[in-house]
Each structure stands twice: as structure tokens, then as C-alpha cells.
């Protein structure tokens, strides 16, 4: 099974609409980084998505480094900052789609948003 994981910072105080927009952004950008065959397998399985939370920027970037070193496609999302938060703030990380066991190993300690 394949899934996509989106990780959101919980220390920014974003409201649910802001969070949803950032997650959508991360989902789409990580999707664009993913090869066609993986995309298709993920879609055949129902395009599973899981949204998790991290404490802060440091934790998000540490996870990004592990994802990168595993050669899993990802996208770091920075907000345009027109509302709620400063321009350029990293808000979220989109990962995959990728095989579930490859991503679960990296994110097993994170909780659902």
C-alpha cells in the first residue's frame, strides 16, 4: 500500500482553514515530485492521505532530512504570509506518496493532527 503523509507545525497557531490550505499545498507539491508509476499505484489504492503534527520547525526539518536521505519525494511549504503568519514561514511538509512501510518507519512517533 502507498500513502501520502502531510506533517504540519502545531506551534504556529494556525486556524483550521489555514491549516487545510497549507496541507493541500503540501499534498499537491509532494505529488508533483513523485514519479508517475508511484502516483498511479497510490491512486489505485484510493489516494490515502494522513495528516500528522510536529512540535516545531526543528522537528519538521529533521524529518525532512531523513526523508531526503531515503530518497522519498517531499515538498517543504512556506507560506506567502498574507494572513496570520510571517511571510516565508515553513508551515508543513508533504511526503510521498510512498510505500507505507518506508514512511511509517520515519513518522511512527508523530501523532495525528
Q: Taking the complex as a whole, how short is the minimal distance between the CB of residue 51 and a second copy, in angstroms?
A: 5
Residue ranges with strand state E in 1-113: 2-9, 49-54, 74-78, 90-99, 111-112
Q: Which is nearer to a second copy, 7 or 72 (CB)?
A: 7
Among 2, 9, 12, 31, binds a second copy (CB under 8 A): 31
**Of residues 43-82, those binding a second copy (CB under 8 A):** 46-47, 49-51, 80
Task: Round to whole Å and give the CA distance between 52 and 107.
Answer: 8
Does residue 28 belong to the site contacting a second copy (CB under 8 A)? yes
Within 10 Å of residue 56's Cβ, how many Cβ atoms?
11
According to the binding rule CB under 8 A, does residue 106 interact with a second copy? Answer: no
Question: 29: which residues sit within 8 A by CB, 6+ positions away?
Answer: 75, 77, 94
- Interface ranges with a second copy (CB under 8 A): 6, 8, 16-17, 19-21, 23-28, 31, 46-47, 49-51, 80, 112-113
Amino acid at each position: 500500500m502507498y500513502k501520502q503523509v502531510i506533517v504540519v507545525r502545531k506551534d504556529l497557531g494556525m486556524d483550521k482553514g489555514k491549516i487545510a490550505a497549507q496541507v493541500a499545498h503540501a499534498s499537491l507539491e509532494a505529488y508533483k515530485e513523485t514519479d508517475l508509476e508511484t502516483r498511479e499505484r497510490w491512486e489505485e489504492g484510493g489516494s490515502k492521505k494522513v495528516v500528522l503534527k510536529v512540535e516545531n520547525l526543528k522537528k519538521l526539518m529533521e524529518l525532512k532530512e531523513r526523508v531526503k536521505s531515503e530518497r522519498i519525494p517531499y515538498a517543504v511549504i512556506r507560506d506567502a504570509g498574507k494572513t496570520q503568519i510571517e511571510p516565508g514561514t515553513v508551515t508543513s511538509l508533504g511526503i510521498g506518496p510512498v510505500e507505507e512501510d518506508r514512511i511509517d518507519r520515519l513518522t511512527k512517533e508523530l501523532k495525528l493532527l
